[in-house]
């Protein structure tokens, strides 16, 4: 049995060579939890050696009076001497105690606080990456989310504001139709286009572009013109408000026929699209 002392709190402990060999001398103080090398702070190399009694001198045995063998052959029982100071708590069990010593613990892991800190760093990084991914999804699919979840628009606008992005209106061309259209000639070689557009979506949408194609008698295109919303809507129209849900809008537009002097338009085609 050996005695070692914690360099942090000066508490003394009893340890065995087997314990020190198993953990290469590294132990944890049961009093202050300080980790230290018990070999470097050993106080006694062997308690048992210090308690071994000195050999008795040889005694002359008188003739006719043999000594009792038990007086000299039985070993002297040594008492357990507590080498610890009175102000230092005895946190180790004695060598004769049935309870195993628990105060000095072997250092099974190197730098466990550092590993815990590393785990926290990874956890924070994972949460940050997850939040960044959610933010990217919200920004990328903001239009679709606004259509599917109208109540999410305030949140989407709040997300877009610091990122300098906008929440545009949906652009689903399949939900906008041309209900009727007509092209008739007008004085001075002009053609008057009238049409009715309808938004069949249950939400407001961006106004579409129109493509007007004039054809001759052989159905060959003689004029193609692309019309933006500001081209076919009135000047004071609030285009940014969007095409109201389930709404209709009339269109009346004068088209100058550049080839009126050479050929008359026999037909036309009108399409709507989003660029």
- Residue ranges per structural domain of the chain: 1-108, 113-163, 173-273
Task: Indicate yes or no: pTM above 0.75.
Answer: no
User: Under DSSP, is residue 152 helix (H, G, I), strand (E, B) or coil?
Assistant: helix
- The DSSP element (H or E) to which 137 belongs, if any, is helix 112-140
Determine the distance from the C-alpha atom of residue 185 to the mean position of all C-alpha atoms in its chain, rounded to a whole number: 66
According to DSSP, residue 218 is labeled: T
Which helix (H) or strand (E) segment holds residue 144: the answer is: helix 142-148
**Rg of the Cα atoms in the chain:** 49
Cβ atoms < 10 Å from Cβ of 65: 6
φ, ψ of residue 14 to 5 degrees: the values are: -95, 130
Averaged pLDDT score across all residues of the chain: 75
Q: Does domain 173-273 have CATH number 2.60.40.3230?
A: yes
Distance CA 259, CA 255 (A): 12
d(CA 266, CA 213): 11
What confidence tens digit (pLDDT) does each residue in 71-114 have? 444 444 443 434 344 444 444 433 444 444 344 554 444 445 67
Does pLDDT of 67 surpass 50? Answer: no
Which are the contacts of 39, defined by CB distance < 8 A and separation ≥ 6?
4, 20, 25
CA distance 192 to 178: 16
Q: Average pLDDT, stretch 138-155?
A: 76
Q: How far apart are the first and last CA of the chain?
A: 89
pLDDT (tens digit, 9 = 90+) per residue, 216-248? Answer: 888 898 889 999 999 999 988 999 899 999 999
List C-alpha distances in Å: 92 to 8, 29, 108, 154, 175.
17, 11, 20, 66, 84
């Amino acid at each position: 049995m050996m005695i070692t002392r914690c360099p942090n709190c000066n508490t003394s402990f009893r340890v065995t060579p087997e314990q020190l060999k198993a953990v290469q001398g590294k132990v944890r103080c049961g009093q202050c939890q300080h980790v230290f090398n018990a070999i470097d702070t050993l106080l006694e190399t062997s308690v048992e050696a210090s308690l071994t009694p000195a050999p008795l001198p040889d005694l002359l045995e008188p003739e006719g009076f043999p000594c009792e063998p038990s007086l000299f052959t039985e070993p002297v029982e040594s008492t357990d001497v507590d080498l610890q100071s009175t102000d230092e708590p005895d946190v180790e069990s004695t060598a004769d105690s049935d309870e195993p010593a628990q105060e000095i613990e072997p250092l099974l892991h190197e730098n466990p606080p550092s590993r815990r800190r590393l785990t926290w760093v990874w956890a924070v990084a994972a949460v940050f990456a997850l939040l960044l991914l959610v933010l990217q999804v919200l920004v990328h699919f903001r239009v679709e989310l606004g259509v599917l979840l109208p109540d999410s628009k305030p949140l989407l606008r709040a997300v877009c504001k610091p990122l300098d992005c906008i929440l545009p209106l949906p652009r689903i061309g399949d939900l906008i139709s041309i209900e009727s259209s007509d092209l008739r000639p007008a004085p001075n070689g002009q053609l008057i286009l009238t049409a009715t557009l309808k938004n069949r979506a249950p939400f407001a949408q961006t106004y579409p572009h129109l493509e007007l194609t004039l054809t001759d008698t052989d159905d060959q295109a003689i004029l193609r013109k692309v019309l933006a919303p500001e081209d076919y809507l009135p000047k004071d129209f609030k285009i940014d408000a969007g095409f109201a849900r389930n709404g209709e809008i009339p269109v009346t537009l004068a088209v100058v026929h550049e080839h009126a002097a050479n050929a008359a338009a026999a037909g036309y085609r009108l399409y709507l699209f989003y660029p």
